[in-house]
Structure formats: structure tokens, C-alpha cells
A and B are shown apart, each in its own frame.
Chain A
Amino acid sequence: MIASEETFRRLMTKAQAGDKLCYSSLLTECEKWLRRYYARKINPAAIDDLVQETLISLHRKRASYDPARPFLPWLAAIGRYRWIDSLRKIYRHEHDQLYEDMVADPQDETVTAKVSLARLLDMLPPKQAEVISLVKIEGLSIIEASAKTGQSESLVKVNIHRGLKKLSSMVESE
């Protein structure tokens, strides 16, 4: 069971005031939320690092959360920022398929659905989203992605580059 928006907000407000107990609960809940958020949107081998990097970012940038506003859209913006950063670093995954038993992003709440990574990917032109998914998330090589999509190798590279650039500009889009 993952905490509600209201619980997140309350814990974060107390954490900003220096309450370590609340902060520990907050980070534990955020870790759970982020694992589901990133599931199937990054190679499983990279999830641990990505979740940790996002939690460290949350820690470093905790003053940028405004207690008067919802918490999850703030966490999701930081999560998307770190995710795109992580996609940029990945060129060839060690694993060539996703763990099928991983839970996809949580879609059960309106707020969560609006901030999901799938929604962000859907905003890309289909050809860009397709090659990013194949190469950066599923771990195919450029040659394999080219054969699968019918795009030339250089077009796959260009579409990945353009797609990631576009994702960066849309981090805060719903």
C-alpha cells in the first residue's frame, strides 16, 4: 500500500521542518512509489540506481517543494528529470528483456495517471517514442531497432536524440 497524496504532503512538510522520523517514512514511501513509477520504463538493472539518484535529488532539492501545493506532481517532475537523464546515459543494456512481473506505473489515481511516464512518452511522435522504448528501455542495439522499425540506423539515432531533447522540454507537461 502506497501513501496517499495527503500523507506525502504532510510528511514532506514536517521533513522540511527537520522531523527525521517523518522524513524516514517519507523516503520509504517515495522509494516504493518511485519503483512503481519507473517500472517498465527503464531497464530493471538500472532501477535501483535511478531510484536512489531520485531520492538523493529529493533530499538536495527539498526546499523547492512548496507545502501549499500537491506533493506527487513535484516528485514526478524530479522523477522525470532523473529518468530522462538516466535514459541519456544508457546505450546498451546488459539485459535484453524486461522483467514481465514488474508492475507498470501506478494508474489507479487521477493524479498519478497525469504525471506518469507513459503519458510523457505518448506526447512524442510515435517514431521517436518507439526507438526510445526499444533502445533505451528494452535494451536493443541500434542495428536491432533499425531492423525492427524499418528506420535506417542513422534515423534511429536522430530520432532518439530528438526524442530525448523533446522529453526534456516536456518534463512538466501533463
Chain B
Amino acid sequence: MSDMMIDRLVEDLTPVKPLKNRNGFALTLAMAAIVAALVVMIAGIRGDILMGMPHPMFFLRGGVLLLLGLTSSYAVIAMSQPAVGNSFKGWIWALAAALLFPATAAVMAVSARPDDMAILVPRYGMECLGVSMLAGLGIAAAQVLWLRRGAPVALERAGWLVGMSSGALGAAAYSLHCPFNSIFYVGLWYSLAVALCAIGGRLLVPRLIRW
């Protein structure tokens, strides 16, 4: 039985090019660049960047999101080539750094004045949430396509990571436009965008990459 099957598989053999992680990573970066360009073209860029004097929060927020997005994207792409012993955990440290934003916001909220918290109204935050998640969707699509070419074996983890990485890169793209610098705003809305993308990834991605 196995011999017949082996003969059939041999008969069916065609040359294949081994997947290269760097190509998958480049695809993710290219998609992130495209969505960032779209955000800038459609929504416009922050005024302080245009004036050449960006606020420190722009660098901190964008830097942490990029770090989280890039490290977790690398883990996603690496999952397309399975092997017992694989371990890509760099993203955990980036996530810990990113969690400083909501943690700081929560601590500061204890002593904040009501005026400081006005920034949290959904009127401002929903745009951040919507655009970040939409941008993340494009990046996630590229990652899912790559994973489908590969052989991911930990589907749920792949789902979490696709969601988190695409959400972080999408939010980084939106941060080019976002005019708010409040720690409360960043701690709530950006965290929410990444968290919702991660949950969405966990729920949707495994069924798309199952093989």
C-alpha cells in the first residue's frame, strides 16, 4: 500500500524552490510600507513631523510598535518552516516593552484630573482603532498567504502572532497621522487596536492556515 503511494508521490514530484524566510519578511515589510503610504496619502501626516519637530511620544510610540510588529512578524514567518527545537521568542520582550504604555496610563490615571481623561472619548479613539485594524488587515493577509505556502504546526500561536504583529504594524502606520500624544490615549486606544487584532487573529487565522 505504502509502496504504491510512494510511487504516486514520486510520479507527482516537481522541482520546488525552498521557502526563504527573508522573502516572507520582505513581503510583510513591503505590505507595511504600502499601508503606511496609504495612511499618509489619505489621512495626511502629523503636523509636527511636517514642521520638522516631532513630539518625543511619536518616536516612543512608533518605535515600540515597530519593534513589536517586526519581532512578532519574524516569528510568524519563521513558523512557515517548522522544526522541533524552533524558538523565536524575541517578540515577548517587545511585547513587555509595549505593555509599559497601558501600564503607565493605568498608574497615571489614579492621580489624573478629569480634563486629562477627556481624550479617551470614543470620538477620537474609534478612528485610531478602525484605521489601525484596517491597515493591519492588509498586513495580516500577506502573512496568511505566506503561512499557507509553508507548514505551520502551532496554528493557535500563529493566529495570535499574525494578529499581534499586523495590528502593531498597522497601528505604527496610523501613528504617522495620529495627532495625539497623551499617554492615556496611547495606553488605551493603541493597546486596544493591537489586542483586538491579536484576538481576531487567534479566532480567524488558524482555520485559514490549517493543512
Binding site for B on A (CB under 8 A): 15-18, 20, 23-24, 27-28, 31, 48, 51-52, 55-57, 59-67, 69-70, 73-74, 76-78, 80-81, 114-115, 168-174
Contact = CB atoms under 8 A, between A and B. Distances in A.
20 contacts: A23-B9, A24-B6, A24-B10, A31-B6, A48-B2, A55-B9, A60-B211, A61-B150, A63-B19, A63-B150, A64-B80, A64-B82, A65-B18, A76-B84, A77-B82, A77-B84, A78-B82, A78-B151, A171-B153, A172-B153
A172 B89 CA distance: 13
A168 B84 contact: no
How many residues of B sit at the interface, in one of the four size bands? 20 to 34
A51 B2 CA distance: 9
B173 to A, nearest CB: 29
Given A65-B18, A67-B18, A173-B84, A77 B153 contact: yes
Given A57-B151, A63-B149, A66-B19, A172 B6 contact: no
Nearest to A27: B6
Interface of B: 1-2, 5-7, 9-19, 21, 80-87, 149-151, 153-157, 211
A39 B150 CA distance: 27
Contacts of A28: 6
A168 B149 CA distance: 20
Nearest to A62: B16
A81 B156 CA distance: 13
